[in-house]
Amino acid sequence: MTDRSSPEVVIVGAGPAGCTLAALLAQRGVACVVFDDDKRPDLLVGESLIPGVVPVFRQLGIEDRVAAMSVRKPGASFFVTDGGPRIHFSFKNVEGHLPPYSYNTPRPELDNLLRLRAEELGARFVHARAELVAGVEDGEPVIRLGAASLEKAGLKAEARPLLVDASGRARAFARAMEIPAVRGERNDVAYFAHFEDFDHDEVEPGQVIISVLRAGWSWRIPLPGRLSVGIVVSKEHSKTLGETPEERLEQAIREEPILAAKGASARRVSPVMTYTNYQLLSERGHGPGWVLLGDAFGFVDPMLSPGLFMSLEGARQLDACVFSKGPELLKNPAALTMAMDRYSRRMVQWHEAWTELVRYFYDGRIFRIHLAGKNLAMKPSPFNIASVMERHSTFHIASMASGGYTRSRYSRGLMRMLARHLVWGVAEAENFCVRDVRRQELEKAA
């Protein structure tokens, strides 16, 4: 049980990142307080998980409870509209280094479970928005809790706990301290809702389907009793779909052939939620007495569902780099800075690796690699080497998308090599890429 009287760590935000860190700290006996503004809508994105999160659920002792509220996810399929190629990735490929499955989970329930687990382990929650005061000390940006928040956390005015920003896209610390971020190339909008009687394609039960549409892309995530359907389109294209989020989602489903027939007799059973979709990485991950975690540090494009993994893995990395070194580290500013440097570097590497991987899916190269691999596997070769090569590539691509080999130098090098040198005799990648406006309009304009 942790010492509740004087927390050494204050976490701002009770999403998956904040609650996972709180649970890990409580397991370690580090006293912490989590500020939760309780602003959780009934429907949240982040429902499709990758196998890389399962070991963290096990570490927290909650996998059974996650399984009970979820649909087991055997893999993910990637389709291209208008009869284009279809790739089916099975997580069976990653067996041996990761669990060969994951889960599709209603997000608010998962967040509640993570919070409950942190509480069971002894973390304390304050149901209030954290008030923050930013400044500069010795030329470095610093951030402190306001007086009222210090009091709510049970801290004296002069207390200096380590502050962790897990406020998600609110990016509370970075905004207050005006820390810039590097933005990725996309700036889309996503609309999603839950449906009943939306036919799933002929894939294994629980399989998630990502489709390259005529404009933008879509997800279909099987959840208990319903299907989560989302579209991600450019802001420009979204305006052609209608005025309201409801009109836009429903019109996209009607006019995209890959969704229309499947959704013909579907009933929407939730409100339509809107999210802006962008990629972003903070230029700094930590400073004196503060550190960023989860979406507050960086946000990877959601096409391959790395968000929850990055939040949970970020909490694990912060725990491993900083808190596993013992309580003395928190009192030694130089050693703490080095430990947080290590954590930040690792998270930047994760971010870069995911960004590189997701680009293959946006620009269509993944479909080209897949088609070339299929051709190769069918060719007779000595010792069946072509088909061995094809299985080897599939293993590495699936392992990267599962969170196992995402950062592996060998896997990344293999992908680059395949995309450059092993794609002869198949259509150009741009035939399969995600487009901002409808394909037909582009063709007409050309």
Ligand X SMILES: Cc1cc2nc3c(=O)[nH]c(=O)nc-3n(C[C@H](O)[C@H](O)[C@H](O)COP(=O)(O)OP(=O)(O)OC[C@H]3O[C@@H](n4cnc5c(N)ncnc54)[C@H](O)[C@@H]3O)c2cc1C
Q: Is 160 left (phi over 0), alpha (psi -120 to 50) or beta?
A: beta
Shortest distance (Å) from residue 302 CB to ligand X: 3
With b for 16 or more beta-carbon neighbours within 10 A and e for fewer, the 22-44 pattern comes to bbbbbbeebbbbbbbbeeeeebb
Residue 274 burial (10 A CB sphere; 0-12, 13-18, 19+): middle
Nearer to ligand X, 11 or 423 (CB): 11
Cα gap 364→257, rounded to integer Å: 19
Asked if 39 touches ligand X (CB under 6 A), the answer is yes
Per CB under 6 A, contacts with ligand X among 385-444 are none
Judged by CB under 6 A, which of 81, 105, 207, 311 binds ligand X?
Answer: 311
Asked if 150 touches ligand X (CB under 6 A), the answer is no
Asked if 357 touches ligand X (CB under 6 A), the answer is no
For residue 57, the one-letter residue type is F
Asked if 305 touches ligand X (CB under 6 A), the answer is yes
Shortest distance (Å) from residue 208 CB to ligand X: 8
Asked if 222 touches ligand X (CB under 6 A), the answer is no
User: Pairing state of beta strands 124-126 and 32-35?
Assistant: parallel
**Which residue carries 């487009």 as its tokens?**
435
CB 320 within 8 A of CB 332: no
The values of phi and psi at residue 329, to 5°, are: -60, -40
For residue 120, the one-letter residue type is E
Judged by CB under 6 A, which of 25, 80, 190, 281 binds ligand X?
Answer: 190
Judged by CB under 6 A, which of 40, 86, 160, 325 binds ligand X?
Answer: 40
Judged by CB under 6 A, which of 10, 11, 12, 145 binds ligand X?
Answer: 12
Asked if 307 touches ligand X (CB under 6 A), the answer is yes
- Count the site residues for ligand X by CB under 6 A: 37
CB atoms within 10 A of CB 205: 10
Judged by CB under 6 A, which of 46, 99, 161, 245 binds ligand X?
Answer: 46
Judged by CB under 6 A, which of 16, 75, 141, 373 binds ligand X?
Answer: 16
**Quick one: tokens of 76?**
């993910």
Asked if 129 touches ligand X (CB under 6 A), the answer is yes
Asked if 316 touches ligand X (CB under 6 A), the answer is no
Binding site for ligand X (CB under 6 A): 12-18, 35-37, 39-40, 45-49, 129-130, 166-170, 172, 190, 275, 277, 294-296, 302, 305, 307-309, 311
